[in-house]
Amino acid sequence: MNKTIQRLLMFCIGLPLVVLVVLVPYKNHLTMNIVIVILCSIGAAELGGLFKKKDMTISFAETAALGALIPGAMTLFSSFHINEDFLSGVMILAAIWIVISRVFCKGEKIKQALEYMGAGFAALLYPGFFMSWIIRMTRWENAAFVILMFLLMVISNDSAAWACGMLFGKNNRGIIPASPNKSIAGYTGGLVTSMLIGLCAAVFFPEILESKHYLAIPTMVSGIFIGFVTGITGSLGDLTESVMKRSANAKDSGFIIPGRGGVLDSIDSIALAAPVFYVVYWFFFTN
């Protein structure tokens, strides 16, 4: 099947599924939280596969477990009201394990201890730590609509960038060496689309963009602003993963999603944008 058709089908099927999962409110969006944990586990395992191409040996099981730890702990905090200190404890224990796990090894494993530690800490943080900020958003008022706004900003940015690049990017590609096939037209189209999603959110759901900050930013300006910030960081997330793949001489992080590649290829933009969106929204709209 043509890759363009595969991508369109995944978008048409995937977007309604995303909306459906986010709108299930049971136990602070437990369904969505579980999906995030699973995606982070698979994404971290795919990251481990990239590390292996650089001779940074870490097992599939270890990366999968490390990737699930932080979002899993955040889910227990958000959906089951486990003390927030539990999250800190999980991170500390995981970090200690990464540091000491090669102490009683010998031979080649000793020689590769630094590589293992680097891969282990990376798998603990990316994408799990970044994606866990979406789970943290479930504590907010109108969380479902805020999370949907965020996800639509990132997903629409990626899709519009791809479409605009295909249509108008023939003579303006190669601006960023990490991803030479991406074009100025694509980046511009994606960013404008993220801003339009923010503007639409301000029109149809103004209550989620009412500034509680002393600056008292108008709602429509707020929507455009947060769409701009989210669009920029989403694009940077995509480029960051492109750098990782280029470093490992890999085309895709995996093969699990038709037309997209691996899970990491699909959540890279969301992962980097999530903590930035959280901080901006928390600062302007929850205080």
Per-residue b or e along 248-283, where b marks 16 or more CB atoms closer than 10 Å to that residue's CB = bebeebbeebebbbbbbbbbbbbbbbbbbbbebbee
In angstroms, the CA 141 to CA 212 distance is 13
pLDDT reading at 223 higher than 80:
yes
pLDDT reading at 6 higher than 80:
no
What is the per-residue pLDDT for 287? Answer: 67
Split into its structural domains, the chain has a count of 1
In angstroms, the CA 270 to CA 283 distance is 20
244, 47 contact by CB (below 8 A):
yes
Global pTM reads: 0.94
In angstroms, the CA 71 to CA 89 distance is 13
What is the per-residue pLDDT for 213? Answer: 65
In angstroms, the CA 95 to CA 117 distance is 9
Provide the domain limits for residue 166: 3-285
| Angle, helices 60-80/113-125, rounded to nearest 10 degrees | 30
Amino acid at 117: M
- Per-residue pLDDT of 81-97, as tens digits, reads 999 899 999 999 999 99
- Per-residue pLDDT of 149-183, as tens digits, reads 999 999 999 999 999 998 998 889 888 888 888 89
- Per-residue pLDDT of 248-284, as tens digits, reads 999 899 888 877 789 999 999 999 999 999 999 999 8
Residues present in the chain in total: 287
